[in-house]
Amino acid sequence: MDGVQKIVDDALHTGILPAKLVSNGLRRGLQTVGEKYQAGDFFLAELIMAGEIMNEAMKTIEPYFKGSGIEPIGRITIGTVAGDIHDIGKNIVIALLKGGGFDVTDLGVDVSAEKFIGLTRDEVNRKGRCILGMSTLLSLTMPEMQKVIEELGKAELRNAAKVIVGGALITREFGKSIGADSACKDAVEGVEVCKRWALSP
């Protein structure tokens, strides 16, 4: 972690553009970690550490982005659903999303359906569409995901919001049954899905 932070500091002070630093450096590193994780060469501990390294590096880089006028490739609002306070998986996804060029709003844990809906409405009003991510580790709180999607429909926001759900117990079948647009058990796969959505017309 210290080594990456030093490289980031040195690169920024020598005038390397933040977008180039992320795309040519950090993103490639995360991509390698993701590939090794999917191949079974790396395990959850390595993925968590890579996420922590990315989070620390992005804290240093983000102020340079804000001053550069560079637009993110997409925006996503993400949180752990009501009744669940686990956030390791969510934080890994957030780190990978930031490394992929996304502007991420992290709602934290134990997020109510009302808060998900309110933030989604704000984003749709600003941009016309949005991506909403929900995470849970507990089987008892999985129905909260369906509740949020149903409330999106009642608020007439469903057509403007792409919904992705994830967690250790989440399956594609479950995602389909609750009306999610995508269900991913793997953080790397989830980020790729969000990239496709962000870059589609």
Q: Write the pLDDT tens digit of every residue in 103-118.
A: 899 999 999 999 999 9
Which of 70, 99, 120 finishes a domain?
Answer: 70
Closest to 127 measured CA to CA, from 176, 175, 178, 161: 161
Are residue 114 and residue 179 in the same domain, yes or no? yes
> What is the per-residue pLDDT across 159-172, written as a single tens digit (0 to 9) for each?
999 999 998 889 99
Q: Tell me, what CATH number does 159's domain have?
A: 3.40.50.280
Other Cβ atoms within 10 Å of 181 Cβ, number: 17
Domain span holding position 136: 72-201
Distance CA 123, CA 157 (A): 10
Among 70, 93, 125, give the residue marking a domain's end: 70
Mean pLDDT of 109-128: 93
The answer to whether 124 and 143 have CB atoms below 8 angstroms apart is: no
Please tell me the pTM assigned to this model. 0.74
Rounded Cα distance between 70 and 9, Å, is 20
Is the confidence at residue 188, as pLDDT, over 80? no
**Can you tell me the distance from the alpha carbon of 41 to that of 33, in angstroms, rounded to the nearest whole number?**
9
Q: Which of 20, 42, 70 is the last residue in one of the domains?
A: 70
Question: For residue range 61-109, what is the model confidence (pLDDT) as tens digits?
Answer: 877 766 555 677 888 999 999 999 988 788 878 877 887 788 899 999 9
- Give the model's pLDDT for residue 126: 87
CA 188/CA 31 separation, integer angstroms: 8
Residues 80 and 143 in one domain: yes
